[in-house]
Structure 1
Amino acid sequence: MTANPILLQKKYARVIECFASNMSISLDDALAFFYHSEVYRLISEGVSDMHCMSDEYLAEELKVEYNTNKLNE
């Protein structure tokens, strides 16, 4: 299923803001990470209705992906 593109853009903004706050990183860094993340790909492609998940849940998923990427560097 796909979501309305305008609603998705608003969702992305809320998730990025929540992620930045949770990780104590700048919005620019959070934005850069988000648009290269697997979470973004899943949401944008409508996989498993990820866009229906809460902003906090998606921010937590980003946090896990972020920390995993940092460990693998």
Structure 2
Amino acid sequence: MKANPILLQKKYARVIACFAKKTGISLGGAMDLFYRSQLYCLMRDGVSDLHCMSDDYLADELSAEYQTKAHHS
């Protein structure tokens, strides 16, 4: 299912803000990481209705994605 583009942009902003708060990085840094993430691609493409998940859950998923990438580098 595709979400309304305006609502999806607002969702991205909330997830980015939550991710920044949880990790202690700047909003700009969080935004950069978010838009380069697999999570963003999945949300943008409407995979598994990820946009329906809570902002907190998605921020945790983004954190997990980058922790996994850090361990594999």
Same fold (TM over 0.5): yes
Please say if 1:5 is aligned against 2:11. Answer: no
Q: Distance in 1 between the 2:71 and 2:27 partners?
A: 22
1:71, CA displacement in angstroms? 1.5
Count of residue correspondences: 73
Q: What are structure 2's unaligned runs of at least 5 residues?
A: none
Which ranges of 4 or more aligned residues in structure 1 deviate by more than 2 Å? none
**Is the aligned partner of 1:62 residue 2:57?**
no
**Hey, what does 1:72 align to over in structure 2?**
72
TM-score by length of 2: 0.96
Q: TM-score, normalised by structure 1?
A: 0.96
RMSD of aligned Cα (Å): 0.6
Structure 1, gaps ≥5 residues long: none
% of aligned pairs identical?
A: 60
